[in-house]
Chains A and B, each alone.
Chain A
């Protein structure tokens, strides 16, 4: 045992997928429900952790899928596809309309920014019975989910639908209220808000800081995508250069093509391997006709009568790894060359608008708010901050995780509880799979919609027919899940399983070790005293040991043999 760790450190045994999820979504649990065709129940289980099943089913970078044990055998389980399908089925069949949660607390909470972090914090606090008001600057809530991610990846009605669920719970969202102008910390406090969560995101594009950036025909990606979402039209000309290698760059490139640009070239200063953009997005952009140039960096934008004419670039080579672990690009002297273009879209990153915030909030990094990553506390008591504004541009799911942590902190703060107690947990990845060779190969059976892009080229409309609403494929796909972790307490059948566990009657056990032989998970074995012992963290409650024990020394806690027999009698009795 490692004695250096504090004793209070909780240990959680989780399957790799759930361990990888920043928002602690019970992945194995909802996959188990999909296996049984219980799509709505699966969505409800996801909603226990976060309010955006359909959104994350579309745009999440799915660390769960990357962590899946199945990848060692054939391919990982298509977790994101399954989540999306389950959420779509739920929406199509009529979204579950939750009852408003009674407000059992009277301390009001204000949240600034209705993006993924703010919304999920509001969601979590509302579930705990707090009156929550979210203030949003834009005409519609959603943040980057609405104004950052283009329509073809994430449809507006999907975002609206999931936000409506949060509103149904009783969260109030006030739009067109700008923080720093319409409301300030002082006004909020005087209005009786006892805690504030600042989640305004990173809304400014980082500048290239090269000559020519102010020319007509230079649109920065965040603003460009936001204006498109607001319905503004653009004249991009024939040729567009996008600078950057992240998701915004690819979004800008694909959007430009859909707006009618004939040629789109993405210029990235590192190689393809280092690109932060989702690989399938890059693939889709390439199929739609976008060209990618790697190891090039712009030196200046050349204009003619104040309009963009060309972009001059330098070739790069990769040097030593930098702080991010990626190899640093180094310019090759004398390698200047020109790309003639009509539009330049820089998409090299985003920063938070920190200029309007009190300087005490801003940390060493002037583009972000300094907040504790675990508790989201800032230097001002009662003021919490998380999401992109504190971390720099990240993902929806990370923002959701921050929102959840903030909600927990606000709850503790308002009740005068310790901020950290029991929150630092050690996560141990568990998997019963020891011998990969023994597992039958079952390659993925679905064709996910992002690969087959042929039919929705150059269109903003979601190609509904491409939504493989094929439940059966989904269930087959879900069955590929190995169920690595312990019982996930999905409560797929509350009445029966209720997260059942085996218990050993030590006086009956003869130590024959048969239970260890039949247990698929190694959850029960003979201990040093020579009697069987159940590891409750690994037991999934199947009951096979109980049905096999020669001394009948193992019983199930909740669904015992006697219970089964009583049911048999009832059934035969009529």
Chain B
């Protein structure tokens, strides 16, 4: 019998990273009722900027570039973890400004606009960073592998999983324990009432979109050493994220987390028996779950169904 444990662990790590992406996605869906098909592209933007920060490639050959590269890799990695998501968040805010004319129209328009944005961002990435496959350099402390019970585990996967858990808990605490989080949740529940209470709905949407995009960017920086970085990584990742929020139920926090773990596990375990088909398994999971529960695991009624 094949020992499943490493595959289960790998699957759960993948699931935790998926959860991080899906959380930003589900926040945006909840508050804006926009399906952001460019979410994966924001993930890619975060990762590509992190690449630039770590490699300092835009300043190569200048004194600044030389000084930058003399900084320890660990410091540059931490900076990348901050700058990548921040720039992804800014890109998300820009996208939100573009989305404004579509509010009040059928949800299709938001979907279409973000689909166009995904195409544009992918082409921009090809233009700026080239078309090849790239990867992030990692600091020694979180790179490499270790032995446990006679099995080899990648250190980075554990770092990524721990990081994701911390981020998920932080987002949950932010939503549940701060007043800003309460406003966001209220906005997802009934945005008209939030406006009636005197909150600036336009600003709320801008902030939520930026926040969701920054989460996508953060997931991008953390996930890329596992998935690799190529211009169409945005499309590769937005589909699992999309599946996850639908399996979990649109707008549900824990639904998204549970669904993400489920998808990660299914991909991990299918990978053992039929590696070529592991990506396919998540679509079958989607169809199986939606066949029984049309609103996903923990879903509630949403305007997006109309």
Do A and B share a complex?
no
Which chain A residues have a beta carbon within 8 Å of chain B's beta carbons? none
Chain B interfacial positions (CB closer than 8 Å to A): none
